[in-house]
Amino acid sequence: MKILVTGGAGFIGGNFVLKQIAETDNSILNFDKLTYAGNPETLNSVKDNPRYTFYKGDICSSEQVRQTLETFQPEAVVHFAAESHVDRSIDGPAEFIQTNIVGTSVMLSESLLYYKKLNGAMKENFRFLHVSTDEVFGALGDEGKFTETTPYDPSSPYSASKASSDHLVRAWNRTFGLPTLITNCSNNYGPYQFPEKLIPLMIINAISGKPLPVYGKGVNVRDWLFVEDHCDAIYEVLKKGITGQTYNIGGNCELKNIDVVETICKILDKIEPNKDGKKYRDLITFVTDRPGHDFRYAMDISKINSRLNWQPKETFESGIQKTIQWYLNNPDWVSAVSGK
């Protein structure tokens, strides 16, 4: 299969590209603008592979997207490209609106034009998969989980922009017949994640002796999903999902933020102890909670499990061990992206 991946130099997209090249015979064109969170270093191991192509492009440019589709002739589009950090969306919503809403509309419009020109098996098998987030559903209380039919109730400019893009994808399917799929995932973690996000920030700050900032009292709950499990799920949806439908992807792993941070500290105490003998948890600093901070997310993954036979392989214990070890083993990557 020939797959056009947008945002393939980002965290989840980069892991998806690496797994595709390593584990399949698929050819990948990575279309990425290389913003601050896009790191070509992530893809150093595949840059010379004949099945991998990189194109520096902007999803908001109709001309660039059209040219790339016509030249590469993909059998599928997997759309990761997005601004994705809640705090940044609060500081500057306009960029999120431009990339996540306008950019997605361009991807849909150009993919539809491309799709209409296809014939035979290429047309029959073409798919546009849009990668989204559980944050579009808003917040949960102490009980219950998000399902594919949970009403949208976004709280931040980031989640509102992703909700908007989800609605556009559905509209292009229902109005124009573009064969689309949507996945909504819980919080990802793992190798190659930009250090503004909770888990890599805690790991990097801890080993640098810097404070570990935790919002509020750290009681907000997230469902944690190891990124490689997420990439496997996306590929299963791409191959077997029913077009026009949505699939929730989660890790079956609900944890309070403070428990995540303390787990990281305990593991680092064992494998990378402080030279002065102090515990890493002493670096934890509670900071003012961010505006509109959703209390709890949790995903019901029974649909993807029962219909596509997917479930996460990693527990949080195994996934966080792999993640911490990866950051310790890759200081050059960390220093390269930390300078952005």
- 332 part of the active site: no
Residue listed under structure tokens 């896009």: 38
- 272 part of the active site: no
* Dihedral of the alpha carbons of 234, 238, 239, 242, in degrees to the nearest 10: 120
Given CA atoms 42, 309, 23, 74 in this order, what sign does their dihedral have? negative
The one catalytic residue among 52, 114, 115, 158: 158
Give whole-number Cα distances, 309 to 1, 98, 139, 235, 237, in Å: 21, 36, 27, 12, 10
The one catalytic residue among 134, 236, 262, 300: 134
* Dihedral of the alpha carbons of 75, 79, 80, 86, in degrees to the nearest 10: -170
Distance in angstroms (rounded) separating the CA atoms of residues 204 and 223: 22
The one catalytic residue among 32, 83, 110, 135: 135
Structure token digits, residue 86: 């809640």
Structure token digits, residue 283: 């670096």
CB atoms near residue 71 (< 10 Å): 11
Strand runs labelled E in the chain: 2-6, 27-32, 52-56, 76-79, 127-133, 180-185, 187-189, 212-215, 221-226, 246-249, 254-256, 284-287
The three-point CA angle 128-55-10 to 5° equals: 70
Helices (H) and strands (E) in the chain, counts: 13, 12
- 294 part of the active site: no
SS3 state of residue 334: helix
Distance in angstroms (rounded) separating the CA atoms of residues 317 and 255: 12
Q: Can you state the percent helix, strand and coil of the chain, rounding each to 5?
A: 45, 20, 35
CB atoms near residue 215 (< 10 Å): 17
Q: Which residues are catalytic?
A: 134-135, 158
